[in-house]
Amino acid sequence: MSRLRSVPSDPVDRTHLPVDEWRLVESRPGGDLGHLETLFTTANGYLGMRGTPSEGRDVESHGTFLNGFHETWSINHAESAFGFARTGQTMISVPDSSVMKLYVDDEPLLLSIADLPEYERWIDFREGVLHRELIWRTPSGKRVKVATSRMVSFTQRHLALMTLQVTMLDGAAPVAVSSQIINRQDIADDYGKGVDGGPVTEKDDPRRTTDFTHRVLEPQQDWHSERRMLLGYRVATSGMTLAVGADHTIESDVEVEQLVDTSADRGRQVVRADLGEGNTLTVRKAVAYHSSRSVPHRELFDRCRRTLDRVRADGFAPQYQDQRDYLADFWERSDVEVPGRPVEQQATRWCLFQLAQAAARSDQWGIPAKGVTGSGYEGHYFWDTEVYVVPFLTFTEPRWARNALRFRSNLLPKARERARELNQRGALFPWRTINGDEASAYYAAGTAQYHINADVAYAFSQYVDVTGDVDFQHRDGVRVLVETARMWADLGFWRRTADGDASFHINGVTGPDEYTTVVNNNMFTNVMARHNLRRAARAVRELRDADDAAYETLRGDLGLDELELEQWEACADGMFVAKDDSLGIHLQEDRFLEREVWDLSSTPPEAFPLLLNFHPLVIYRFQVLKQADVVLALFLRGSEFTAEEKRADFEYYDPITTGDSSLSAVVQSIMAAEVGHQKAALDYFRDGLFVDLGNLHGNTADGAHIASAGGVWNALVHGFGGMRQDEGHLSFDPRLPADWPELRFPLTVRGSRFRVRVLREEISFTLESGSEIDVTVRGVRVRVTTAGTSVPLVDQGPLLDDSVLASPVGLGDRRADGSIMTSYVPQDPEDPWQYPVATDPDDIIEAG
């Protein structure tokens, strides 16, 4: 049984972060600063500003990020080889414009030591603005009310707005506000604080970013006037360019003095006023960020000016209203309602809000694993996007999904280059990247994950099935499908048995489970490749039938021979998927059962995640999973497996899955619900739901887990809602948790939006816009109309005993070669938690 199953129903400190179904609220300052900085990040998919205080301290990790804005560096392998990744890419922190330092009687406001009779910080998910209000009793005993706000605009993706309002509640005092832009990537601020971390020569945790030893942002120009400041930079090695500009508007009922200056790495506007009791000083700050792969900074200056000029002309109020309107539309399309469950409701909405902050305006770029909330994973894009995030976008915000897929199609030329480098036809997408180059220095758990090709193809296929956007399929999708299918047909090979049967095999790959690497016939890879091959052949034929001219252009551009389509279908039909008849399970890879089983129940909590405590070679010798692999295939391609196969596979692999990856719990929840382990399904759902709010993996300070947030939607809709999609047809088989009164969510399919309501005794559908559509509920076809349609439910599916998940299946059984399957933990005599090594085989079997 996965070690994460012990997570409480609510792991959040509610005295600090109280429950509010539409807001994340902080009732007092302090706590884990890095964790809170991530939770209160404001972002739009292009621009992200971590939830650091306006004063600029106390802070664990500053960070303002632009999606795709990165530095490149040479990967120095101790022992290099042909085809190893050569160019690292790291998202860097752009100049920090969030700083608005406050001084009263020349004393700085510093939350960690300030006397604060009242304090609240919050972000309302319907508003998209980070607020903070407090009353500060200064060292001289004067009471000052301080209200701040910060908004990163969804409608104008280059724009951020900030306000600071100071009101003297009693007494009089000189007040100063120092509003700044600071290049923290290369310099420290007044308190010696720059960007936390960045590429270092060595990292203890491969999930964290890397530090540079050279100057990254090379100043190009700084400029200022009475109301505006501009700073321009060029990234040292990547050559990307950046401009940041800020305007200030000051309001007060007393006379105000203003000073402004800029230098290469800092811009500063200082506002001074003598406030009497009841007087107020308000500073409004509009900031624009523009970046480019190569455009000179002077042009970016002009773009900043145009963005700021619009705000100067219109004011702040219309921007706030646009933000509310934008989010109102988002929630209408995306909100998942869990009535009567306020804890789950708040956490669900926080996760969905993170998806908006990661994807809404990521125009022309991908969706990083951490969004733009932190520097974790160096700002890279992974296969997580296509499998965990794009499905949410496809069913709720199709335009955002199209943007994400369009980014992948733009990487196709570099994917072709990478395939050539690895001696393959077609294209091979990088496992992790920003600019399209493979950035994984560890090929066994990186480049070997060829399944990314099939994951991308899956997302393209699902998008066209659900949206009906055949124009996108014919212009972009078909090319991706063709080139990925070519790679599979070339990578695999045919093997014929003595009795004449032939099967298609794929060797030397790594599946989603990074604890089992470079293997033959990884089940997930083969199943997803089979789907990729079939959909590629189908897409080409559909284009041929729909648009002969476009088809001929495709053939000419790609050198496509129609015989290739027959080859792809033959490879798919002959795809080898190994199964062990004695256990009735699909093998994760050919030799998986030859390994001994890692005894997770005897492994202490401090030994997790295994990747930070054991050499990879130790882990690779065992049956132990970082994340769902076979089980993920059962979900994504569920129509290809029987209910009996799904149950057998889940019950075998679940007890040996560590959950060391944040991607795992949500998938385990979905499949646990389907096969009938409904308590486990709810436990796993909570594991995924609170990954960040509860900091369950201990690294939320590095940024939010965006794929896990997408997985929360998947677990709600696919797991508890029981929705499946197969070639555009939707079916439902709900699994509502026993103590949940109902579940409601909207779906958009081929332009029609309808709302699903799951109760214990029925499921209903109501069309809200678009044409009527058909779905099925447990095999019964249902027409979705504006009048609404309800289908009675006899039950919420099977209920199985979770005790079978407590220990691995088959321990003590004989394998086909006569050996006994055993379970233990790798020994380390230096660690006191290790138990004595058993030397007698009978003792080992008994221990197993």
Q: Which residues are catalytic?
A: 514
- Measured between alpha carbons, how far is 588 from 599 in angstroms, rounded to an integer? 18
* Conformational region of residue 284, where left means phi above 0, alpha means psi within -120 to 50, and beta covers everything else: beta
Q: Is 378 within 8 Å of 209 (Cβ atoms)?
A: yes
Distance CA 139, CA 104 (A): 10
d(CA 280, CA 517): 63
Q: Report the amino acid identity of residue 384.
A: D
Amino acid identity at 271: V
**Which among 81, 256, 246 has a CA at the least distance from the CA of 179?**
246
Strand ranges inside 611-721, DSSP E? 622-623
**Cis before residue 253, ω within 30 degrees of 0?**
no
- Residue 626 contacts residue 515 (beta carbons within 8 Å): yes
Residues in the chain: 848
Give, in degrees to the nearest 5, the angle at Cα 815 between 504 and 492. 15
Six token digits for residue 413: 């030329």
For 468-476, the CB contacts below 8 A with 24+ separation are 468/728, 468/750, 468/751, 469/398, 469/402, 470/542, 470/546, 472/402, 472/405, 472/406, 473/539, 473/542, 473/543, 474/542, 474/543, 474/546, 474/547, 474/550, 475/550, 476/405, 476/406, 476/409
Contact 198, 277 (CB under 8 A): no
Element (H, E) at 700: none
CB 65 within 8 A of CB 91: yes
Tally of CA atoms within 13 A in the half-sphere of 532 that contains its CB: 30
Q: In what helix (H) or strand (E) does residue 725 lie, and over which residues does it extend? A: strand 723-726
- Cβ atoms of 352 and 709 within 8 Å: the answer is yes
The packing angle between helices 412-421 and 398-410, to 10°, is 40
- Contact between 578 and 524 under an 8 Å Cβ cutoff? The reply is no
Q: 266 and 182 in contact (C-beta within 8 Å)? A: yes
* DSSP strands (E only) in 733-795: 742-749, 752-759, 762-769, 773-777, 780-784, 789-792
Question: Tell me, what amino acid is at 118?
Answer: E
Given a contact cutoff of 8 angstroms between Cβ atoms, the answer to whether 172 and 180 are in contact is no
Walk across the sheet containing 729-732 and list its strands.
723-726, 729-732, 773-777, 780-784
First to last CA, the chain: 15
The CA angle 538-544-547, to the nearest 5 degrees, is 130
CA-nearest of 395, 386, 511 to 460 is 386
Q: Which residues contact 94 (CB under 8 A, 6 or more apart)?
A: 64, 65, 66, 69, 185, 217, 242, 244, 289, 291
CB atoms within 10 A of CB 816: 10
Give the whole-angstrom CA distance, residue 447 versus residue 450. Answer: 7
Residues 6+ apart with CB under 8 A from 617: none
- Residue that has been written with the tokens 């099939």 in this structure: 454
